[in-house]
Structure 1
Amino acid sequence: MIDSHCHLNLPPLNVDLDEVISSAKQNGITRILLPGITVSSWAVQKEICQRYCDQLPIDLALGLHPYFLAKTRLSQLNSSNDEIHQLEQAIDDPTYAVKAVGETGLDAVIDVPLEIQKDVLDKHLAIASNAKLPVILHHRKSHHLLFEALKKRRFKYGGVVHGFSGSIDVAKRYINMGFSLGIGGTITYQRARKTRDTVAYLLKHQLDSVLLETDAPDMPMWGRQGQCNKPEYLVDVVNVLCRLGDCSAQHIISATTNNYTRLFLG
């Protein structure tokens, strides 16, 4: 199983990474993608990838998560020393071996003006286009705005819509734009009926667009509320997908591993 979205650098996971990585491997995790959220996290992420490379492959993405954007970001973006410029430099640095740009996106719930988020997202898309890299998209009540941003930039390198929730029509639209859909802990909750219906459709008709993820240490699985989410709990997602798609775990794991390889390692 490949965990396509896991923040290993965040507490409490980072308190005992040796144990987290060892337990993940023992429970069937074969690879992890570690997305970026702030400039200060990138060097730590790189160190984690390098430290555990012989034990478990960890791929690196770099970006600026919308949640952590300062409200003054627009006034800073034209500075030669701003974070966007640092992002460009880091992605061009071969020592980072970046596989994707992100986590970026749009969140209509947080207290960061959407105009700032849109501007920063567009700059991420421009950087990804120049580097010919996929992007990792965060969404919350913002599918229509993400479609507008991708269309405006004419982005053609695809990526993954992380923590996907939404209708079949929304899923199809992302897929038609070259995106995979990251399926995580939300699917383990029975109340997520619409997303479960969408995922059931994808499993039968467009399994080649599905990725697995935990979003650890956040997004706890059903039955594990109040606990730190961990990569090893990805099996909970797989088990639900098996029921929704009436298929074997090996079928899900094999397909999603191929999907990840094609998107990030091809």
Structure 2
Amino acid sequence: MLIDSHCHLDMLDLSRHENSLDNVMAAAHDKQVNEMLCVCVDLKAYDGMRQAAERFDNVWFSAGIHPLHMDKSAFDRDHLAALAADPRVVALGETGLDYYYSTDTLEAQQASFAGHLALAGELDLPVIVHTRDAREDTIRLIREHGNPDSAGVLHCFTESLDMAKAALDLGYMISFSGIISFRNAAELREVVKAVPLDRMLVETDSPYLAPVPYRGKQNQPAYVAEVAACVAELKGVSLDTVAEHTSANFRQLFKRTRV
């Protein structure tokens, strides 16, 4: 069994799936992708995200504010805490820092990230972290505001091995997406080889970043099987081994999924 640890089901263009999320779920099931975590990027969009997929009992949810959505949804501790009371909300995020696309909201990004980290510690929930071109500040804020007992995951990891090691030392997991299959991702594949199997997750980040051989198409949870297969090849292990480890890691990190 595989688990897509990060997807955005509410953002899929369902016209490509006969206008039905059921078809997306059936395609995932056919690839033995039996669970997924649907991730929030904007608190104002949370209800719509939840309603889009809540009828599927194999879908979990997160609540948080993406650093590139600061203009749409400011950090609101009480609102976030209220959403986190839902037992199907298994993490806060995605939150974090993005200095690649936005440098004019750095203070707001950092304050929001710190707020997510602090609240997650209080609620004993993990944090889903987006980080791009902000290595030092991401690790610094985790050290200053994070709770090592709840920790979290650096999702869709594209940064350096040194950053991965720093995050691992802080109790975080590293999640890899279809980017690892891209031709120009040789350095990232070396990170995959270095990160222990018992500290990694696999994801699609769908509808974005479809892996080879689907690159250029809309991504979907079924394609996490391709990500896992790439990890298996890089690690020199079977796909079943990757599935077993990453599923166990998912349960370990997202405690509320242990039902």
Structure 2 portions without partners, runs of 5+? none
Deviations 1:23-59 (A, max 9, x none): 1111110110011111232222333443111xxx111
Task: After the TM superposition, list the runs of 4 or more consecutive aligned residues in structure 1 that deviate by more than 4 angstroms.
Answer: none
Query: Is the 8 Å Cα contact of residues 94 and 127 (structure 2) preserved in structure 1?
Result: yes
Name the counterpart of 1:149: 141
Query: Is the 8 Å Cα contact of residues 66 and 94 (structure 2) preserved in structure 1?
Result: yes
Q: CA deviation at 1:13?
A: 4.5
Name the counterpart of 2:242: 252
Superposed, which structure 2 residues align to 1:89-168 within 5 Å?
89-92=82-85, 94=86, 97-111=88-102, 112-156=104-148, 157-168=150-161
SS in 2 for 1:9: helix
Q: Given the two structures, how large is their TM-score scaled by the length of structure 1?
A: 0.88
Corresponding residue to 1:186 among 169, 175, 179:
179
1:239 aligns to 2:224 (yes or no): no
Mark the CA change 1:176 to 1:187 in structure 2 (over 3 Å): closer, same or farther: same
Mark the CA change 1:179 to 1:244 in structure 2 (over 3 Å): closer, same or farther: same
Query: Is the 8 Å Cα contact of residues 13 and 217 (structure 1) preserved in structure 2?
Result: no
CA separation in 1, counterparts of 2:111 and 2:40?
Answer: 18
Q: Given the two structures, how large is their TM-score scaled by the length of structure 2?
A: 0.90
- Name the amino acid aligned to 1:23: A
SS in 2 for 1:106: strand
- Name the amino acid aligned to 2:207: P
SS in 2 for 1:147: helix
CA separation in 1, counterparts of 2:216 and 2:14?
Answer: 14
SS in 2 for 1:51: coil
CA separation in 2, counterparts of 1:210 and 1:71?
Answer: 31
CA separation in 2, counterparts of 1:90 and 1:84?
Answer: 10
CA separation in 2, counterparts of 1:188 and 1:260?
Answer: 22
Query: Is the 8 Å Cα contact of residues 60 and 97 (structure 1) preserved in structure 2?
Result: yes
Query: Is the 8 Å Cα contact of residues 13 and 230 (structure 1) preserved in structure 2?
Result: no
Superposed, which structure 2 residues align to 1:1-266 within 5 Å?
1-13=2-14, 15-53=19-57, 57-70=58-71, 73=74, 83-92=76-85, 94=86, 97-111=88-102, 112-156=104-148, 157-202=150-195, 206-265=196-255
Q: CA deviation at 1:166?
A: 2.6
Query: Is the 8 Å Cα contact of residues 9 and 53 (structure 2) preserved in structure 1?
Result: no
Q: How many residues align?
A: 250
SS in 2 for 1:85: helix
Mark the CA change 1:225 to 1:114 in structure 2 (over 3 Å): closer, same or farther: same
Query: Is the 8 Å Cα contact of residues 71 and 116 (structure 1) preserved in structure 2?
Result: no
Q: CA deviation at 1:225?
A: 2.8
Identity of aligned residues (%): 29
Mark the CA change 1:131 to 1:13 in structure 2 (over 3 Å): closer, same or farther: farther
- Name the amino acid aligned to 1:121: F
Name the counterpart of 1:80: none
SS in 1 for 2:207: coil
- Name the amino acid aligned to 2:254: F
CA separation in 2, counterparts of 1:65 and 1:71?
Answer: 10
- Name the amino acid aligned to 1:91: A
Structure 1 portions without partners, runs of 5+? 78-82
Q: CA deviation at 1:244?
A: 0.7
Q: CA deviation at 1:105?
A: 0.5
Mark the CA change 1:177 to 1:225 in structure 2 (over 3 Å): closer, same or farther: same
SS in 1 for 2:46: helix
Query: Is the 8 Å Cα contact of residues 202 and 227 (structure 2) preserved in structure 1?
Result: yes
CA separation in 2, counterparts of 1:132 and 1:72?
Answer: 23
Q: CA deviation at 1:169?
A: 2.1
